[in-house]
Structure 1
Amino acid sequence: MSGSPQRYVEGDHLRITEADGTPHLWVVRKRVVRGWRLEPVGGGDTRTVTDRDITRMRQQIEHYPQGRAGLTADQEELLNRTFESNKAESCIEAMRRAEYLWHAYRLHKEGIPLNAAFERAASEIFAEKGPTWQKEDDEAAAVRETARAERRRVPPELLKSPNKPRKPLAAPKPSTIESWYHPWMAVSRDIRILVPLIEKRGNRTSRFKDERAFIPERMKIYIETMFLNDRRASLNEVHKLLNKELKSKGLKVSYKCFQAYLLKNYSEHEEVKRRFNWRKAHLETGVFKRKRPPAKPLEEIEVDHSLLDIIVVNEKSGRPLGRPWITLALDRCTRMVLGVHVSFEPPSFASLQRCLAHAFWPKDLTGLGLSNPWPAEGIPRLVFCDNGKEFHSRSLKLAELSMGFTVVNLPPRQPWLKGKVERIFGRIGIQVFDLMEGKTFSNPAKRGEYKSVASAKLTLPEVKEKLLKYFVDDYHVTFHDGLKGTPLEEWQRHAEVDRVEGVRSYEDIRRLMGATFLKPITNVGIKIFGLVYYHDDLKELRRRRGGTTKRFQVRADPFDLGEVEVLDEETGRWIVVPCDRPELAAGVSLHQARTNDKRARRLAEGGPVTDLHRAEGQRLEAEEAAVALDDTEAKTTAARAARYGLDNGCFFTPLVGQPTPANDPAPVPVGGEAEGHEGGNDRAGNPEPAGGGADPDVQAAMLAMMAQWTRRSA
């Protein structure tokens, strides 16, 4: 770096800002070889800086010629802050003073003595600028008077006339200009030294020498104990209580004084935090850094659940069923919808599994009457979601490790951190269901007297059809201001350059995205909700050291418990284990299995639960679900029955190469069993089950067989 050596004089001051941003004031003591010896103001170790160091640090060095050491502490404070940080009135006054000083400085440079230069500057500048300054002051005073009257609610007729002239400006005396000039020159004509110290004027000591000296302390106590708490009393009422106490001593505090004490001693953040909570204060007074969107597709995706703002009805009976849930995955880079699942299954790992499987694998839109493709697929790098139990489940953690993505759980009650998926939920309510019968609006206040349940007409397949049409032929091909294009165009543009990472096979999705359990191997096999799974290979696992007490990792399709897989940790392979009573498990979901198990236990009345009880419980649940769904006279919704009996497990669209039909009738389970215990674990509670089960003829044959087996055992 090139630069000329700087000329300093012994006694000059250098203000050097260090690398950490801390400023230090140094005094130039003497010239050394190719550098200068500096001493810190206030004493301390000296420092030598070379000419090259000074050239390199020119932006961090402020030079003040000798004489600054005689400045007062208040003047030093002015030089340690920016000019703009002062009040507007003080800045205006400083700029006017600078007009006088620069004029005097130029006159002195022309050879005019300083005293004469000060006199000429006072008269000439005031004659030129005075009328303009007077007009500016009058206008500013009128604005202040109007604002003051509005705050005090003074009637307009009592206002001072805005055109009434104020105290006229006067030219400063030459001696006054001289008092400004020397400090100004001592700091290299820095305008900050000219800022008037208005706040330092007057007697700054306490004027309360008698019993009134305790008033500030009482104001603090009343504000701390009565105003700054969650009872949120009004400041006016607290002020009245304070004056009641002071009245006995013949004292009084005005409301303006009381309010000024609050504003001076307590920040807005502290007031909101103590009267409400930290979160509200953080949101109202915080500053938040915007996050740059990812540069590639599937770098970051957002996943969330939401209730749709529409009441759906049963296809056969027309009974209102309630509001279905939607689980949606959205790519942050391109805003493409990656995967969707719509059902009556509340937020759980099962609904999440269906959505992610739909997002990871290519969609088959053949014969669906759509005008545009839906090319979004692949494994993401980061999955941003909230803190629902399904996002902390063991099943999802295993899927992370198996498929190579990472789940990022965002802080609770901060939906704006995944605002893109939250925003599309709002768009669905407006752009898809706003004109539909049975809409529920965004809240009861907006719904008013509208009868959403009585007006409902759409079935669940019709809702899915409208959503599919909206995503593919509307949202994906609509211009997005943030993208400067459409989501589909952005995805296709990036896909040509940044290849997406796909899943190896559909079977990988089915296996790796299955619900996981930790279960022991008993003497009859593995039990899940009373269903027993047996295979000869389980004998070898149980015979090993600790095999009778060990809990093995079990994986199952959450929509079909006909078979499960058990991990052999020594060989690293998964053993497929079928249910020994397939008529009780084939096509049965986790939610159905849990519901059937509870019913069977009630039928057993505290005794041993046999397969006969389980078959009877399954039949009763199926019948009750059918009755609830087919009740045409009902005026209420049947979401609980719909959760048990409808096709909640079917994919939103068919998947390419899917070995089973997309409309698989297996309902979606909840995430409780997947955590290794037989109990509910979903956010929507544990609603009453209904519907679904095995074929009635198969059940009848099985019941007869079980009755005969029971008699023989007896």
Structure 2
Amino acid sequence: MNKSLVLEPGKKVSREGKNYRIAEVFNLSKVILVDESTGETLETKAESLLPPLEVEPRKCDEELMLISEEAWETANQRYEIIKPLVNKGGRTRKQVIERAQAHDLHVNTVYLWLRLYEGSGLLTSLLPKTRSDKGATKGDHIVEEIIKEAIATEYLTKQKKIVRKVIDAVKAQCLKRGLTPPHDNTVRNRVKALPLELVSRKRHGRKKSDNDFKPIEGKFPGADWPLAVVQIDHTKLDIILVDDHYRAPIGRPWITLSFDVFSRLVTGFYISFDPPSAMTTGLCLAHSILPKERWLAKLGVSGEWPVWGLPDKIHADNAKEFRGNMLKRACSQYSMDLEWRPVARPNYGAHVERALGTLSKEVHALPGSTFANPKEKGDYDSEKAAALTLSEFEKWLADYIVNVYHQKKHSMLGMAPLARYKQGILGDSEMPGRGLPAKIIDEEKLKLDLMPFEMRTVQDYGIVIDKIYYYHDVLRPWINAIDPQDAKRKRKFMVRRDPRDISLIWFFDPELKSYYQIPYRDTSHPAISIWELREALKRVEESGGKINEHTIFEAYERMRELEQEAVNKTKAAKRSRQRRKNHTQAEKPNPMPAVQEQPGELAISTLDIEPFDDMDEWS
């Protein structure tokens, strides 16, 4: 099944169980449909469209993290070969033949790969067909390692050796180990599939590689249309937020923000109390890619944020904590080029950093701001003034982005970001439009692909993560399952968990190739976040107690009770202080007013009267 729905005139779609053809793209969020059976036209929101009803039933995709490195590398190599031909308008047979000859392939093979990839848009469509490893031997894997080693030591060096040297080295090592050497063309294809930037850097040095492949300061290269380049960055916000239950201060949040370089439009964000990581980047990316209409409605924010779609290239932080396989595989699967921001190259992240700087200044006007420096803060008590919960701040931020930042003229563009984005999508007299981005069909699968994962066994009590037990009957067939590759070990399964709500996990069934929601084994436990879990674990450890599910949720309940007591004490103290003021005032009789010759104005009390703090006790 195709991963995305192309929204352009002539394409077939469905809406509310009926097929239509797109007649016209009306604006960034609406299209004109035509019912081909009646000729009637209909204006509708792009977000409501689905694939045409005659498409084949959905076949589940492979779980990305369970695919072997060898198979994943093969799929990548095949994609690099066909990449110049993919979705190329006016592609000729001559071009396909030339590409096939350049890589010693039959032309039909290249056509097959093109058909598979263009039919789905997913890298997994190019995975080699497997037969449960029948025919594969340990020697096959050793030969692959020999090829990799020979390429690294013979080809990717400053000596600039020819490919023949790599082939000879592979043959020598295979014969030495009693293995059958691969065909010469197998080695040649491995070399030809190497990224050009890597080859240039290893054989000619970083300076030449940077000159040939890296951006220069000034206009950002490649950002010539919307979603061509999306930058992602993070910062700790200068504001203290309060918890949802008792509105007690809980600290400063982090924001991960994605940003379209072409239009300076914010494409998505993610706010949490976790420091930046592959997890926060993945959740931000999912928000960037998916439509936001329902999300805005849920927040209660009016206005439009008509931005969705897969970016061509992503620039992300270079820190080691972001270089996990989850992000890399997800980006490869959806044909997004993930590029790490080089150290000491400020032009790579300048655009998104400026946007974060603008946002930070706006935050300083909110209650609970910590400001940029002590001088600016003065004697302002940030914790005492803190008033916004994370969800309330998220609503404020969405409203600011949609109705202020996107609408305000940008000094470098000469127009508002949303107007620039619209120009790049729909086109005008100055430039042609790229058209509406394709819409992701399986939104839940995308979210899961970008969500943190664990590998866990299934025991008779279910699955355990961080001392929390999860169970559902769908796990029953896999209880105490043996690893098919090693009879001495228990089989581990892919499990994903949303850090915002760990009351359930997603279990991937390797036979049915589907995800299933698995709840707490004890469903009486409250839904909590990963941050609340960590705080509860910390409390149990500090008390010297035994860490288990029971003590964790006991600690969680005590945390809530203590917070409630603190709030009640604060309210009681305020009421007591007010009563003392009133009592003291009553003990001091007011002096008789002086006789006035003219009627005077009513005096305004100078008492520091506080509002009622706990009206609900009167009701």
- TM-score, normalisation: structure 1: 0.42
The structure having more radius of gyration, on CA atoms, is 1
